[in-house]
Chains A and B, each alone.
Chain A
Amino acid sequence: MADSKFAAYICTGCGIGDTLDVPMLEKIAQKEGKMALVKSHPFLCSTDGVKLIEDDIANEGVTHLCIAACSRRAKVEAFRFPAAAVSRANLREGVIWVVAEGAEHDAVRQEMAEDYVRMGCAEIKKMKVPAGNVKEASSKKILVVGGGLSGMTAALAAAEAGYAVTLVEKSGALGGFANNLWKRVPFAAPYADAQPVGAAELAAKVSGHAKIKVHLNAVVAETSGAPGRFAVKIAQESGGMTDDVCGAIIQATGFTPYDPARLPELGGGQPNVVDQAGLEALAKAADGGPIKRADGKEVKSVVFVQCAGQRDASGQHLPYCSGHCCATSIKQATYFKDRDAGINAVVMYQDLRVPGMGEDFYRSAQDKGVTFVKGRAARVTDGGGACKVDFKDLILDEDTSIEADLVVLATGQVPNAGVNLDEWTATVTAAESGDEAAKTRKDELLKTSVLSLNYRQGPDMPQFKYGFADSHFICFPYETRRTGIYAAGPVRRPMDILQATEDATGAALKAIQAVENAARGRAAHPRVGDLSYPVARLEGCTQCKRCTVECPFGAIDEDEKRFPKFNEERCRRCGTCMGACPVRVISFENYSVDTVGSQIKAVNIPDEFEEKPRILILACENDAYPALDMAGIQRLSYSAFVRAIPVRCLGSVNTIWITDALNSGYDGVMLMGCKKGDDYQCHFVKGSEMAFYRTSKIDDTLKQLGLEPERVLSLEVAITDNARVAKLINDYAEQINEIGLSPMKGFG
């Protein structure tokens, strides 16, 4: 570290200089923080203040700097020095804005500020500027799996932006489910009539595009690697195998219509009862002429039964709504009405769901004479000549029936998402313990895989609810738990053609972003641009596998010797592995067991006679830490006995930090993370859950130390909890006061 030079800059603006003893802070930075250079400035974020720092970097060789000013979330642009490592001591939002005013608090306020300066100096001593992990010859090619409308759209979207694409389609032709359609729902004003599907035109564009290589009758036999370097084996049906290297993957494997045969009470499986796909086939066969049933009879009356096997609360069928079916049935009803206004077309629905401009299409069908009945179908009987639909009329509140030549069941979309990883993990575990049936099942499952990832965590993307490969995040719909792999179209969520087109275009962007990020060695969402990555000191590794198992993103494999094998390009830099590691061999250049541990140790612990407890807060930087900041912005005061350290994710908290803190005389530790469970809000999916799980196991350690279980408190804190967080702190300080100071003081 011969070339490192450490400096601390203390801002005296925003009231810091008026409230705190800055010369004392300078002295601490110098003497205790061991900073070679310590300067204060009345307005550090001003052009003048920033120039002071820049000059020191240029002329004094400063490489590491601690900025003691406002929160790390404020003035980010001003304090961006890409060539230097930077730590921030939060004297504004973290001290002067939250410690109650008045001279009686001067001492504790100053102590708090001094500790934050000590912590900032301690942290910067352990930080390095991350260099990134740039790989030579990173691939920017995009693999699209599935050649339906979504896949074709994604492929074309990426190609038109200049990226090479490999498209793999299982069947012998492009087009997917759209090939079965006679027409589609209108996408543009006046939203009046069904439109040509355009699948063949799109297929021709894709096939003819210079940047797209199409493999028909082919599947992905194996995928290994990571973003920027996925090695893909493409197996032809004929037996041939092609090797390809891609940077990112879009899974657009579409859906399978829910099998109407599973709805015998609605006539599923009877000759004159078809599903929506079946009706499309009849319309295609009619080719604009009269639509005929299988027995050749021209259809003069038709009933569409909506939500067939959908929105089902009984647990037998699909619990969700497939979204497109109302508009699809309206479209299909117009197939009849457009040809012959005399045909009786009835749509039987419970809630008609045609959002947006679909309302205009609905209106146009009403104008064309399509009948809409709010009713719940109870039974469909195919009498051969006519079908009878028994239903409850929800308007007249009575049971009644209607007859029709043909009944169309609007069944839902079932995603073609590949292997369910929950089942996979259970099967693999059973197979490893020698269960023969499980071994067979594992092979069967592998055959149904879409991506055939050779990841330790399983061959496909983790599924969200009901088998869809969707994101759990509202603000970030493309987030998956497999970096560089994105789902598009109905495999992600039930959707219509218009949405699938939008979705596939968006997925293409995310794939492009993934290859660009991988090429530059930087993280993907949500720590986008982060150049740090985890490094493991394998000589200390005990092969416990916790890091590989707990990584929410499947970034870590095991090598032949059963050591963890990090795939940096798959990593999201949350540090959950670092938190998991019992022997603490995993670290990032700028975030490690040491960068946080040294801050914990830097805090001055008063002896027990001073009656000044010290409470450590480890706060998720995404939600809890901003809430603490917001408490400051709103000038909500909280105990000056706390010392808060932001962490990348609560999942990165290594329990050694907690035990070290308690050993060195802290009186309590508060862990603040995001909501866990089904509606988790953790940006790294499992991080906060893992942290809660780990700290639940800490009681034994506390017992060994002779400490009360209350000394460690895990909390879910939302970003809007600014008032709550202040109260939680004050309540906890009060609780600590009641149970008394830690007996460990003076032993650290």
Chain B
Amino acid sequence: MSASIATSQTILVVGGGIAGMTAALEAAECGRQVILAEKQPMLGGRTALLYRYFPKMCHPVCGLEINLRRLRGNPNVRVMTMTEVTAVSGRRGDYTVTLKTRPRYVNENCTACGDCGNAVSTTIPNPANYGLDKIKAAYLPHGMAYPQRYVIDPSIVGTAEGEQAKAACKAGAIDLGMQEETVTLKAGSIVWATGWRPYDAAKIQPYGYGRIANVVTSVEFERMADPHGPTGGKLLRPSDGQEAKNIAFIQCAGSRDENHLRHCSRICCMASLKQTQYVREACGEDGRSTIYYIDIRAIDRFEDFYQSVQNDPTVRFIKSKVARIALDEQSGNPILHGVDTEGAHRYANAHDLVVLAVGMVPEVTGVALPEDILLDSSNFIEGSQSGGMFGAGSAASPLDVNRSVQSATAASLRAIQVIHQTASTEAV
């Protein structure tokens, strides 16, 4: 990796989820030079952790495959994984960026044959399943992972296990002496596609997340429903491993709430509507889904999906902000307390499992960003004072995948405009 490759004509995209990949690829396919920096060992971001998309119920990896093919075939994009931006200086058209790359302990020789994984027995919480299960400490992050290269977890570096992994590798791909690297390079424009993370459900004290085993978050439920997930696609209660059939979805868990997130995260209504269909997929007519909501925000064509779920006899809607969740110690059932605002009926409903539709927090919350970056009150990136840095996707606004891609495509053009205008000025 040489810093001289990047010039002020290069676009840096920070974040390799669907928005970052899109921003990078769209610019590269216009003939621009792009560096795509991703914090994780693989691209795909949170979309790679989704089982299905609403409203088509199609699989996110389908689009990921196309994007990866675009990427593999395009020499204009340089991908740097396990890499974070640590400093940005300079101005529109002429930024100097410092990037820090964590050691993967596996070099480009890796063929993803899996021998190192077979050689170790230590396990770590699986980041691809929100830690709901474990994987070997020498692992391929995801079946479709790009780069298709293993990762050695730092916990076995310097141990006998690490050496065993190294010894097992016939390709000479394991380098346990790999160090953190810092590189400084030039970029004319920067697209921040740093995405989101789920709101910390434990902060919503009355809902008992962390105290009541059978209260899970929507992102965890997504993994549970996925046949490639920790439960092999079975909806099992964390408390006793029994199949959950009567499932509650609590909307706006931590969203639209001045004590938590001021904003509406836009996707959660659709995500819960989608997840009711996972219940149907797993339990058929025996499944019971109850959505506790304030407003169902099924915007534009998504209304169709809402109507089809409304027509599903296994799904019930209760307009209510749930007040609190109690635990029935004997059954392990969470009991939801609140008032149904349509008709003002008080309820205490027992469910097998509760899914909190948690909101989107910008991933950069709490991260030191360049001073130039403009954030709104929820830490979404509005842009930059100098006009050379742009937010894209859910880093810029809580967006669904489709709108994230639109946003990233727009951000990509804005970056190209900067590059173009810088080049024109330099030429004069």
Q: How far is the CA of A499 from the CA of B18 in the complex (A)?
A: 18
Given contacts A161-B417, A356-B397, A529-B73, contact A723 B410 (CB under 8 A): no
Q: How far is the CA of A517 from the CA of B65 in the complex (A)?
A: 21
Selected contact of A188 from candidates B262, B382, B398, CB within 8 Å: B382
Tell me whether A502 and B405 are in contact (CB under 8 A).
no
Selected contact of A493 from candidates B60, B140, B297, B300, CB within 8 Å: B300
Q: How far is the CA of A718 from the CA of B60 in the complex (A)?
A: 11
Contact mask for chain B residues 191-226; partner A; CB cutoff 8 A; 1 contact, 0 none: 000000000000000000000000000000000000
Q: A81 at interface (Cβ–Cβ under 8 A)? A: no
Contact mask for chain A residues 188-232; partner B; CB cutoff 8 A; 1 contact, 0 none: 111000000000000000000000000000000000000000000
| Size category, A interface | 35 or more
Residue from the set A353, A396, A468 with the largest chain B CB neighbour count within 10 Å: A353
Given contacts A320-B303, A622-B62, contact A528 B70 (CB under 8 A): yes
Tell me whether A74 and B112 are in contact (CB under 8 A).
yes
Residues of chain B from 314 to 357 with CB closer than 8 A to chain A in the complex: 319, 341-344
Tell me whether B26 and A679 are in contact (CB under 8 A).
no
Tell me whether A356 and B266 are in contact (CB under 8 A).
yes
Q: How far is the CA of A599 from the CA of B397 in the complex (A)?
A: 50
The interface residues of chain B lying within 8 Å CB-to-CB of A311 are 303
Query: Contacting chain B: which of A130-138, A260-268, A505-513, A610-618?
Result: A505-513
- Tell me how far the C-beta of B269 lies from the nearest C-beta in chain A, rounded to whole angstroms: 9
Q: How far is the CA of A436 from the CA of B336 in the complex (A)?
A: 67
Tell me whether B298 and A321 are in contact (CB under 8 A).
yes
Q: How far is the CA of A529 from the CA of B77 in the complex (A)?
A: 14
Tell me whether A679 and B113 are in contact (CB under 8 A).
no
Q: A331 at interface (Cβ–Cβ under 8 A)? A: no
The interface residues of chain A lying within 8 Å CB-to-CB of B376 are 188-189, 357
The interface residues of chain B lying within 8 Å CB-to-CB of A543 are none
Q: How far is the CA of A190 from the CA of B262 in the complex (A)?
A: 12
| Extra contacts besides A355-B264, A465-B301 (15): CB < 8 Å | A70-B111, A160-B421, A189-B377, A349-B295, A359-B256, A374-B341, A465-B304, A494-B300, A499-B403, A506-B409, A512-B416, A528-B29, A528-B73, A679-B57, A719-B62
Tell me whether A517 and B29 are in contact (CB under 8 A).
yes
- Tell me how far the C-beta of B384 lies from the nearest C-beta in chain A, rounded to whole angstroms: 13
Q: A46 at interface (Cβ–Cβ under 8 A)? A: yes
Q: How far is the CA of A722 from the CA of B228 in the complex (A)?
A: 10
Q: A95 at interface (Cβ–Cβ under 8 A)? A: no
Tell me whether B263 and A359 are in contact (CB under 8 A).
yes
The interface residues of chain B lying within 8 Å CB-to-CB of A466 are 301
Q: How far is the CA of A346 from the CA of B140 in the complex (A)?
A: 56
The interface residues of chain A lying within 8 Å CB-to-CB of B109 are 43, 46
Q: How far is the CA of A531 from the CA of B141 in the complex (A)?
A: 33
Q: A670 at interface (Cβ–Cβ under 8 A)? A: no
Given contacts A509-B410, A509-B412, A719-B65, contact A360 B59 (CB under 8 A): no
Given contacts A626-B144, A720-B228, contact A477 B413 (CB under 8 A): no
Chain A residue at minimal CB-CB distance from B412: A509
- Tell me how far the C-beta of A252 lies from the nearest C-beta in chain B, rounded to whole angstroms: 14
Tell me whether A508 and B59 are in contact (CB under 8 A).
no
Q: How far is the CA of A473 from the CA of B380 in the complex (A)?
A: 26
11 A-B pairs whose Cβ atoms sit less than 8 Å apart in the complex: A13-B113, A351-B295, A352-B295, A357-B397, A475-B401, A477-B406, A478-B409, A495-B300, A626-B144, A633-B140, A719-B61
Q: A395 at interface (Cβ–Cβ under 8 A)? A: yes
Contact mask for chain A residues 459-477; partner B; CB cutoff 8 A; 1 contact, 0 none: 0000001101010011111
Selected contact of B405 from candidates A190, A320, A476, A633, CB within 8 Å: A476
Q: B148 at interface (Cβ–Cβ under 8 A)? A: yes
Contact mask for chain B residues 406-428; partner A; CB cutoff 8 A; 1 contact, 0 none: 11111011101100110010000
Q: A681 at interface (Cβ–Cβ under 8 A)? A: yes
Q: B160 at interface (Cβ–Cβ under 8 A)? A: no
Q: A706 at interface (Cβ–Cβ under 8 A)? A: no
- Tell me how far the C-beta of B241 lies from the nearest C-beta in chain A, rounded to whole angstroms: 21
Q: A438 at interface (Cβ–Cβ under 8 A)? A: no
Residue from the set A77, A161, A494, A525 with the largest chain B CB neighbour count within 10 Å: A161
Tell me whether A630 and B402 are in contact (CB under 8 A).
no
Q: How far is the CA of A623 from the CA of B67 in the complex (A)?
A: 13
Q: How far is the CA of A14 from the CA of B227 in the complex (A)?
A: 28
Q: How far is the CA of A323 from the CA of B298 in the complex (A)?
A: 9
The interface residues of chain B lying within 8 Å CB-to-CB of A465 are 301, 304
Residues of chain A from 67 to 95 with CB closer than 8 A to chain B in the complex: 70, 73-77
Tell me whether A157 and B301 are in contact (CB under 8 A).
no
Tell me whether B58 and A509 are in contact (CB under 8 A).
no
Q: B31 at interface (Cβ–Cβ under 8 A)? A: yes
The interface residues of chain A lying within 8 Å CB-to-CB of B53 are 474
Contact mask for chain A residues 484-511; partner B; CB cutoff 8 A; 1 contact, 0 none: 0000000001110001001101101110
Tell me whether B74 and A513 are in contact (CB under 8 A).
no
Tell me whether A43 and B171 are in contact (CB under 8 A).
yes
Given contacts A509-B26, A528-B70, contact A675 B58 (CB under 8 A): yes
Top 10 nearest A-B pairs (CB, nearest first) are: A475-B63, A506-B409, A505-B410, A355-B266, A509-B413, A351-B295, A76-B72, A506-B410, A189-B376, A14-B113
Chain A residue at minimal CB-CB distance from B407: A502
Given contacts A13-B170, A679-B56, contact A493 B301 (CB under 8 A): yes
Chain A residue at minimal CB-CB distance from B72: A76
Q: A241 at interface (Cβ–Cβ under 8 A)? A: no
The interface residues of chain B lying within 8 Å CB-to-CB of A385 are none
Q: B158 at interface (Cβ–Cβ under 8 A)? A: no
Residues of chain A from 297 to 330 with CB closer than 8 A to chain B in the complex: 311, 313, 319-323
Chain A residue at minimal CB-CB distance from B267: A355
- Tell me how far the C-beta of B47 lies from the nearest C-beta in chain A, rounded to whole angstroms: 8
Q: How far is the CA of A493 from the CA of B402 in the complex (A)?
A: 12
Tell me whether B148 and A74 are in contact (CB under 8 A).
yes
Given contacts A321-B299, A321-B303, A357-B376, contact A683 B413 (CB under 8 A): no
The interface residues of chain A lying within 8 Å CB-to-CB of B113 are 13-15
Q: A740 at interface (Cβ–Cβ under 8 A)? A: no
The interface residues of chain B lying within 8 Å CB-to-CB of A557 are none
Q: B30 at interface (Cβ–Cβ under 8 A)? A: yes
The interface residues of chain A lying within 8 Å CB-to-CB of B31 are 516
Tell me whether A622 and B65 are in contact (CB under 8 A).
yes
The interface residues of chain B lying within 8 Å CB-to-CB of A160 are 417, 420-421
Q: B66 at interface (Cβ–Cβ under 8 A)? A: yes
Q: B296 at interface (Cβ–Cβ under 8 A)? A: yes
Q: How far is the CA of A322 from the CA of B299 in the complex (A)?
A: 7
Tell me whether A397 and B342 are in contact (CB under 8 A).
yes
Q: B378 at interface (Cβ–Cβ under 8 A)? A: yes
Selected contact of A477 from candidates B30, B405, B412, B416, CB within 8 Å: B405
Contact mask for chain B residues 2-40; partner A; CB cutoff 8 A; 1 contact, 0 none: 000000000000000010000000100111000000000
- Tell me how far the C-beta of A571 lies from the nearest C-beta in chain B, rounded to whole angstroms: 17
Residues of chain B from 259 to 307 with CB closer than 8 A to chain A in the complex: 262-266, 295-304, 307
The interface residues of chain B lying within 8 Å CB-to-CB of A630 are 143-144
Tell me whether A475 and B264 are in contact (CB under 8 A).
no
Given contacts A358-B264, A506-B410, contact A513 B29 (CB under 8 A): yes
The interface residues of chain B lying within 8 Å CB-to-CB of A509 are 26, 30, 409-410, 412-413, 416
Chain A residue at minimal CB-CB distance from B383: A188
- Tell me how far the C-beta of B362 lies from the nearest C-beta in chain A, rounded to whole angstroms: 12
The interface residues of chain B lying within 8 Å CB-to-CB of A389 are none
Q: How far is the CA of A503 from the CA of B403 in the complex (A)?
A: 9
Selected contact of B377 from candidates A190, A508, A623, CB within 8 Å: A190
The interface residues of chain B lying within 8 Å CB-to-CB of A454 are none
The interface residues of chain B lying within 8 Å CB-to-CB of A73 are 69
Residues of chain B from 69 to 97 with CB closer than 8 A to chain A in the complex: 69-70, 72-74
- Tell me how far the C-beta of A575 lies from the nearest C-beta in chain B, rounded to whole angstroms: 16
Q: How far is the CA of A723 from the CA of B64 in the complex (A)?
A: 19
Q: A162 at interface (Cβ–Cβ under 8 A)? A: yes
Given contacts A46-B171, A323-B299, contact A623 B56 (CB under 8 A): no
Chain B residue at minimal CB-CB distance from A187: B382
Chain A residue at minimal CB-CB distance from B232: A723
Tell me whether A320 and B301 are in contact (CB under 8 A).
yes
Q: A634 at interface (Cβ–Cβ under 8 A)? A: yes
